[in-house]
């Protein structure tokens, strides 16, 4: 299982694939950075990649027994983070501790901040493209504050399959480690009678510019997604160190995406070069302008 945080997971993932091991992947950044490289390596070695992210595990399970060509769209749900519903202007002075206080999941600091900006959902869109071989325009994001529905698959005939469950990462971890068997997991069960309501809403890019940056990077292709990920890692770290404000995360990422030249080649060397350059540019922006 690859469960490290960030770009450092790329080389270990490629080594595991080269060794012919079945990989359970909780580290989304390698697929974001180098999805073409990773999936091609897995195809050549005949390696299966099983997702551990709750959303991708949900979609993976909903797709069982179905052909990908019958899929109309994949739906990724997002809680909206701790600031959902607040005016963007009111977030200028929020603290790292406030941003990391996720309303429904107990997660690490970096991914919690990514959830607050919705960058995490943007990264998951890119991850889903590569995991399931579905084009960007057929992947949708929907705000679902209750975090009960983890993922949905819509088919051409209009039917939608949804995966529901408690907010406990032990469930997708257990599934990935034991697949194809299902074992009795030591987690609480979802009681449908206790669910008051399930709500869904469309995210607005004006409120979540990090999501917009991720979609644009996915659309650009090449090394743009590696640049996106690197800039975001640096910006989130700077925010957590009080070097930039919360709203500065999206600004730094946007500036770096604009500044870094487009690269269409997707070799490991070119991806790592793009990653390093993006980190340098992000640090320069933070140092010179404070975002």
Distance of CA 210 to the CA centre of its chain: 12
Looking at the predicted structure, is the pLDDT value of residue 264 above 80? no
Would you put residue 263 in left (φ > 0), alpha (ψ -120 to 50) or beta? Answer: beta
Question: How confident is residue 27, by pLDDT bands cut at 50, 70 and 90?
Answer: confident
Question: How confident is residue 77, by pLDDT bands cut at 50, 70 and 90?
Answer: very high
Question: How confident is residue 290, by pLDDT bands cut at 50, 70 and 90?
Answer: low
Looking at the predicted structure, is the pLDDT value of residue 288 above 60? yes
Is-contact 291 245, C-beta < 8 A? Answer: yes
pLDDT of residue 266: 80
The number of CA neighbours under 13 Å toward the Cβ of 66 is: 20
Looking at the predicted structure, is the pLDDT value of residue 291 above 60? no
pLDDT in tens, 8-24: 889 999 999 999 989 99
Average pLDDT over the chain, rounded to an integer: 93
Residue found by looking up tokens 């269409």 in the block: 264
pLDDT in tens, 107-146: 788 989 999 999 999 999 999 999 999 999 999 999 999 9
Looking at the predicted structure, is the pLDDT value of residue 255 above 90? yes
The helix (H) or strand (E) run that includes residue 169 is none
Torsion of CA 166, 172, 177, 178, to 10 degrees: 60
**CA dist., res. 78 & res. 85, Å (int):** 13
The helix (H) or strand (E) run that includes residue 53 is none
Q: Which has more pLDDT, 71 or 6?
A: 71
3-state DSSP call for residue 207?
coil
pLDDT in tens, 162-203: 999 999 999 999 999 998 889 888 888 999 999 889 999 999
Q: What is the mean pLDDT of residues 144-156?
A: 97
Q: What is the mean pLDDT of residues 148-154?
A: 97
Q: Name the token pair of 273.
A: 């070069």
Looking at the predicted structure, is the pLDDT value of residue 62 above 60? yes
Q: CA nearest 62: which of 182, 166, 155?
A: 155
**CA dist., res. 41 & res. 240, Å (int):** 35
């Amino acid at each position: 299982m690859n469960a490290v945080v960030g770009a450092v997971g790329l080389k270990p993932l490629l080594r595991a694939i080269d060794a012919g091991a079945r990989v359970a992947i909780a580290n989304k950044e390698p697929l974001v950075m180098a999805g073409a490289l990773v999936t091609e390596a897995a195809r050549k070695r005949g390696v299966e990649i099983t997702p551990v992210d709750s959303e991708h595990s949900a979609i993976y399970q909903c797709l069982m027994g179905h052909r990908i060509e019958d899929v109309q769209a994949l739906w990724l749900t997002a809680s909206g983070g701790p600031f959902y519903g607040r005016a963007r202007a009111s977030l200028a002075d929020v603290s790292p501790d406030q941003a990391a206080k996720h309303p429904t999941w107990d997660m690490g600091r970096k991914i919690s901040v990514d959830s607050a900006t919705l960058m995490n959902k943007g990264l998951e869109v890119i991850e889903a493209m590569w995991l399931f071989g579905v084009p960007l325009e057929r992947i949708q994001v929907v705000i679902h504050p209750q975090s009960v529905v983890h993922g949905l698959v819509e088919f051409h005939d209009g039917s939608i399959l949804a995966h529901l469950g408690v907010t406990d990462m032990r469930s997708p971890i257990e599934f990935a480690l034991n697949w194809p068997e299902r074992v009795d997991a030591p987690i609480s069960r979802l009681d449908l009678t206790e669910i008051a309501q399930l709500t869904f809403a469309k995210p607005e890019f004006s409120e979540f510019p990090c999501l917009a940056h991720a979609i644009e990077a996915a659309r650009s292709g090449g090394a743009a997604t590696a640049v996106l990920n690197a800039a975001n890692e640096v910006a989130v770290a700077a925010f957590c160190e009080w070097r930039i404000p919360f709203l500065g995360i999206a600004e730094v990422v946007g500036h770096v995406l604009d500044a870094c030249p487009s690269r269409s080649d997707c070799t490991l060397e070119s991806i790592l070069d793009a990653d390093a350059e993006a980190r340098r540019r992000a640090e320069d922006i933070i140092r010179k302008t404070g975002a």
